[in-house]
Amino acid sequence: GAVVSQHPSWVICKSGTSVKIECRSLDFQATTMFWYRQFPKQSLMLMATSNEGSKATYEQGVEKDKFLINHASLTLSTLTVTSAHPEDSSFYICSAVLVGLGLTYEQYFGPGTRLTVT
Amino acid sequence: LAKTTQPISMDSYEGQEVNITCSHNNIATNDYITWYQQFPSQGPRFIIQGYKTKVTNEVASLFIPADRKSSTLSLPRVSLSDTAVYYCLVGPSNTNAGKSTFGDGTTLTVKP
């Protein structure tokens, strides 16, 4: 089946520093990827839509200057949390859309990245 | 985007069939219904997707009535490892599939 990876799986950083999270579709090309954030015991919240070759589209309330998204190729999207603060500590999950036979669109998720800002 | 409503939690025992129902009264004509499973500290895993009637794969069945205002995920003979949160998503089956809103999900606890 389709596989999406994320790196790193967990990261601890100091307040004020920046952290980059990578999302890769390993066995398929994805023109569209999505970034979610999930706090403990809560559901996933969509942060932004990442489109290959164009600017990301951010959901309302998500600061685009703080969460920088780059979709440089059909298999890689990156999320950079700039000037991280403790309240940015969360579980970040990406997903990629696979266009299957018969034009079915299936969304596959990465394993997530646990970010802890101290 | 259609809002979904699921039971917050369900309990079951090993070997039983589990049915989780999701309500989506505002489903649009071009919306599909997709179910995901999520374990703690992992990304959601695709279970099944359907548009109408019944869909079956190697792990689950999805029942969708004619009015499509609800759907039921059926897990046959659950095991302890099926303890997880299950999400029902309703949204377009296109490149905007990821914009479907995650509801609160159903926490399924399978007991021995």
What's the pLDDT score for residue B1? 59
| Residue B2 and residue B99 in contact, taking contact as beta carbons nearer than 8 Å | no
Taking residues A93-109, what's their average pLDDT?
82
Q: Does B93 touch chain A (CB under 8 A)?
A: yes
pLDDT bracket for residue B9 (50, 70, 90): very high
Produce one character per residue of B24-60: b if its CB has 16 or more CB atoms within 10 Å, e if not: beebeeebbbbbbbbeeeebbbbbbbbeeeebeeeeb
Of B43, B97, B102, the CB nearest to A110: B43
Could A33 and B95 be called an inter-chain contact, meaning their C-beta atoms sit closer than 8 Å?
no
Identify the top-confidence range among A5-9, A102-106, B97-101: A5-9
Could A110 and B98 be called an inter-chain contact, meaning their C-beta atoms sit closer than 8 Å?
no
Asked whether the predicted pLDDT for residue A101 surpasses 80, the reply is no
Taking residues B18-23, what's their average pLDDT?
96
Q: Does B107 touch chain A (CB under 8 A)?
A: no
What's the pLDDT score for residue B64? 97
pLDDT bracket for residue A103 (50, 70, 90): low
Q: What percent of chain A has pLDDT over 90?
A: 74
Q: What percent of chain A has pLDDT over 70?
A: 96
What's the pLDDT score for residue A63? 94
Alpha-carbon distance of A69 to A52, in angstroms, equals 10
Q: How far is CA A103 from the centre of its chain?
A: 24
Q: Look-up: residue for tokens 């890769």?
A: A24
CB pairs under 8 A between A and B: 65
**In chain A, what's the furthest Cα-to-Cα distance?**
47
What's the pLDDT score for residue B95? 62
What's the pLDDT score for residue A98? 82
Q: Does B3 touch chain A (CB under 8 A)?
A: no
Locate the chain A residue with the closest alpha carbon to B93.
A105
Q: Does B97 touch chain A (CB under 8 A)?
A: yes
Locate the chain B residue with the closest alpha carbon to A6.
B43
Of A31, A36, A108, the CB nearest to B46: A108
On chain B, the residues whose CB falls within 8 A of the CB of A41 are none
| Residue A59 and residue A38 in contact, taking contact as beta carbons nearer than 8 Å | no
On chain B, the residues whose CB falls within 8 A of the CB of A45 are 102
| Residue B37 and residue B102 in contact, taking contact as beta carbons nearer than 8 Å | no
B48-101 pLDDT tens trace = 999 999 999 999 999 999 999 999 999 999 999 999 999 999 988 776 666 777
Q: What is chain A's mean pLDDT, rounded?
A: 92
Taking residues A49-62, what's their average pLDDT?
90
Could A49 and B99 be called an inter-chain contact, meaning their C-beta atoms sit closer than 8 Å?
yes
Q: Does B17 touch chain A (CB under 8 A)?
A: no
Asked whether the predicted pLDDT for residue A94 surpasses 90, the reply is yes
What's the pLDDT score for residue B97? 66
